[in-house]
Amino acid sequence: MENNWLPVNEGPRADALDKVTGKATYAAEHRVSNLAHGVFVCSTIAKGIIQSIDEAAALKAEGVIDIISYKNCPAIPGYAPQLADGTRNPKQWWGMKVLYDNQVRFYGQPIALVVAETLEQANAASLLLKITYQKESFETDFNLARKDPSKAKPPSTYSRGNASNYEQAAVKVDGEFTIPIEVHSPMELQATIAVWEAEDKLTVYDKTQGPKATQGAIARLFNIPDKNVRVIADYVGGAFGNALRNWHNVPAACIAAKKINRPVKVILTRPQMFNLTGYRPQSWQQLKIGADATGKFVGIIHTAISNTSRYEEFREGIVNASRFLYACDYVDTNYRILPLDVSTPTWMRGPGEASGCFALESSIDQLSYVLNMDPVELRIKNFAEKNPESKLPWSSNYLKECYDKGRTLINWANRPQKPGSLQENGWLVGYGMANGVFGAGRSQASVRAILQANGNLVLQSAVSDMGPGTTTAMTKIASENLLLPLDKISFKLGDSELPPGPTQGGSTTTSTLGTAVYLACEALKKSLRTLAVENVPAFKNLDASTLVIKEGGVSASIDKEVFISNADLLKLGNKPFLEITQDSQGTSAMELKHATNSFSSHFVKVLVNPKTLKIKITEVVTTADAGKIISENTARSQMLGGVVGGIGMALFEELKFDHYTGAITNASFAGYQVPLHPDIPKTTVWFVNKPDPIINPIGAKGLGEIAFIGLAAAIANAVYNATGKRVRNLPITPEKLKEAKI
């Protein structure tokens, strides 16, 4: 039997044991005594005013403790738009204020929280509320609304070079692309448990990508000091961006727990997960690209509209990659957002760039056929030697190595240049490729390193890990730095009381937090050297800077026999432990005088049945330039996950609305299709694995986004190669393929 597992010379995922034994504890699973359960009752109109809520029957139902709505919601400091003196409240809650007013802003908006002794009682009572509304007209149809330019917000624009370059291009392609709403749908349901320990002090167990950010948000909500809010998020069951901000469940649980003076747990239902935790906005894009007869790009014009809600403005980097991924003198981008009567979108894996690269990379593919050039050669022809937008040199860019390896591994030589000309066992065969790119940033972080009396090292930071393997990567960095075995190092996260760490998102955790871990280890080594010279006779006359830290101890570089273990060293120095808290400052690309980006190139082979037009992805090769790979084991898994996400975007995922009522019609895993086991092809992962010399001392760039960005285009391009038909409206279905024009 074929087996794709690649042995790696490192230990397992640091938290794997907890995860396979059921010991890993996610937000809703913390045991809290005297717990009450809250469930949301949600609006059944898309827009309007709540005229009345009749709670009488529900209040009489067994086990019901309280029903909280705008009618009886306590005054919450962070809900007040203005301070007492009439000035704007600077600590106002970010986003919709749940249970605050009688306005309905979208279908399925939480308008009451039923709190009862048990979940069953709360669910049963939630059916008994009688609510009347005054309906207002609404708009949820993006594709209809975008045709009226007056409805979108003013554009953000960018332009460089001379527009006549495009006008005079020898070859041009011009296409429109649409991407429906896609929803993160992590397997763990959004959940919050709020426990007030005093009038102004609480502990919150929450599904969050940023324990510190959540701590701050709750502190502002109740106008209490940050230190009075403890946020625990030791395990996060996937998020992909949907836990970058705090949704309705967070304030609702905190408010209810305060009001009834008991701990309250609020878990969203799966249908609510499709509406109440953000999503990738729906988008329309037009991409025009022109080249000279040799294939050199002379102009790119990228126009995009994506939806936001009526009550918040959400923008993302949908047109950004078009400005800098390839060398091109003339680039013009124009991006507008269009408010609709729906809930607010948010960042979803590969935010913006994933949508933008679908249009850009599909268009470049199309151009390659017009030029009769290999699409990889066309990209090499237009390789950007430096970032054409910022004009800064790349900190590193090994895209060309990705091309070489990707082509070899997928057997690119088998690709037919003429679409629809190759068959295998009666199926049409197609090969496609596309690139991904994302910023590789680094922000501030703080890490505490504690060397314990037994010589074990504990690292701590208030971050959370939604799955990529932060704990694994951080222990690996410390292990390599201190030459200390992995089993002597642990990393504690998921608690806001630890030293402040970044929110996990935007592919920055390894770079940001890893740098702090690296610096903490460097500081620890310095302390150990000093401690050795001051306390150990054999080291007394040696220069501290020459001492070597390795294998859990200190040795003299000139005489390797002179060695003392860290544990003995602490004992001699009369220290119960050694503790260092290290800050790491973030740096911007401008400060680094380099453009800092991660790159990926994905190669896909598909089969398409000529009769049914069923699409089978049979093989994927995904390659990445993400700097040095810290943990090959977890990094590979992250790349595999990006491929699965890309398959979902390309072939399956689409949230659907009934525009007559404004309701979502497929808010479940039965209606909203995601990739399943049988949809997954043989996938090979390859990393350039060369350290970036500029971004940080560990050489790692980001990985989470580029694993996903570009995949949908690679699949669409392979489908074109197989069939000669280009589907520009995701997801690609047999029906659309049938209707698609060449």
Partner 1 sequence: MQKYCYNNGRRDFIRKASFSAALYAIPSLLVHAESVSLIAPTPAPKEKIKLSINGKEISAEVDTRITLLDFLREQLGYTGTKKGCGMGQCGACILHINGKRMNSCQTLAIHNNGKTIETVEGLANGDTLHPMQEAFIKCDAMQCGYCTPGQIMSGIACIRDGRANNRDEIQRYMAGNICRCGAYQNIVDAIAQVKESGKTV
Catalytic site residues? 705
Task: Tell me if 666 contacts partner 1 by CB under 8 A.
Answer: no
Q: DSSP states of 561-576 as a string?
A: T-EEEHHHHHHHTT-S
CA distance 448 to 443: 17
Task: Tell me if 120 contacts partner 1 by CB under 8 A.
Answer: yes
Site for partner 1 in 449-468 (CB under 8 A): 466-468
Beta carbon nearer to partner 1, 251 or 468: 468
Q: Least distance (Å) from partner 1 to the CB of residue 188?
A: 4
Give the residue from 17, 497, 455, 499 showing the smallest Cα distance to 233.
497
Q: Least distance (Å) from partner 1 to the CB of residue 220?
A: 28
Out of 83, 144, 453, 676, the only residue in the binding site for partner 1 (CB under 8 A) is 676
DSSP run (H or E) holding 266: strand 264-267
- 375 backbone dihedrals φ, ψ, rounded to 5°: -60, -30
CB within 8 Å of 482: residues ≥ 6 apart: 457, 521, 524, 525, 549, 550
Task: Tell me if 109 contacts partner 1 by CB under 8 A.
Answer: no
Positive or negative: CA dihedral 228, 190, 20, 707:
negative
Task: Tell me if 668 contacts partner 1 by CB under 8 A.
Answer: yes
Task: Tell me if 41 contacts partner 1 by CB under 8 A.
Answer: yes
Beta carbon nearer to partner 1, 2 or 385: 2
Out of 106, 205, 235, 431, the only residue in the binding site for partner 1 (CB under 8 A) is 235
Beta carbon nearer to partner 1, 496 or 684: 684
Distances (CA, A) of 465 to 85, 134, 191, 194, 233: 41, 43, 16, 21, 8
CA distance 367 to 376: 12
Q: Which two tokens stand for residue 107?
A: 């279908």
Residues that contact partner 1, how many (by CB under 8 A): 90
Site for partner 1 in 256-275 (CB under 8 A): 267, 269-272
Beta carbon nearer to partner 1, 524 or 615: 615
The stretch among 229-237, 251-259, 278-286, 716-724 that binds partner 1 (CB under 8 A) is: 229-237
Site for partner 1 in 632-651 (CB under 8 A): 633-634, 636-638, 640-645
Q: Least distance (Å) from partner 1 to the CB of residue 473?
A: 13
Beta carbon nearer to partner 1, 166 or 652: 652
Task: Tell me if 582 contacts partner 1 by CB under 8 A.
Answer: no
Q: ∠531-537-540 over CA atoms, to 5°? A: 65
Q: ∠155-385-415 over CA atoms, to 5°? A: 90
Site for partner 1 in 318-357 (CB under 8 A): none
Beta carbon nearer to partner 1, 195 or 694: 195
- Please say whether the beta carbons of 112 and 53 come within 8 A: yes
Exposed, middle or buried by CB within 10 Å (0-12, 13-18, 19+), for 414?
A: exposed
Out of 66, 78, 109, 126, the only residue in the binding site for partner 1 (CB under 8 A) is 126
Beta carbon nearer to partner 1, 60 or 593: 60
Beta carbon nearer to partner 1, 184 or 594: 184
The stretch among 81-89, 162-170, 558-566, 669-677 that binds partner 1 (CB under 8 A) is: 669-677
CA distance 498 to 313: 33
Site for partner 1 in 469-488 (CB under 8 A): 469
Task: Tell me if 300 contacts partner 1 by CB under 8 A.
Answer: no
Out of 93, 240, 412, 686, the only residue in the binding site for partner 1 (CB under 8 A) is 240
CA distance 375 to 173: 14
Q: DSSP states of 178-190 as a string?
A: EE--B----SSPP
Out of 125, 445, 450, 513, the only residue in the binding site for partner 1 (CB under 8 A) is 125
Q: Where are the alpha helices (DSSP H) in 307-420?
A: 321-324, 353-371, 375-381, 399-410
CA distance 439 to 323: 13
Task: Tell me if 82 contacts partner 1 by CB under 8 A.
Answer: no
Site for partner 1 in 679-718 (CB under 8 A): 680, 682-683
The stretch among 98-106, 186-194, 357-365, 533-541 that binds partner 1 (CB under 8 A) is: 186-194
- Please say whether the beta carbons of 128 and 56 come within 8 A: no
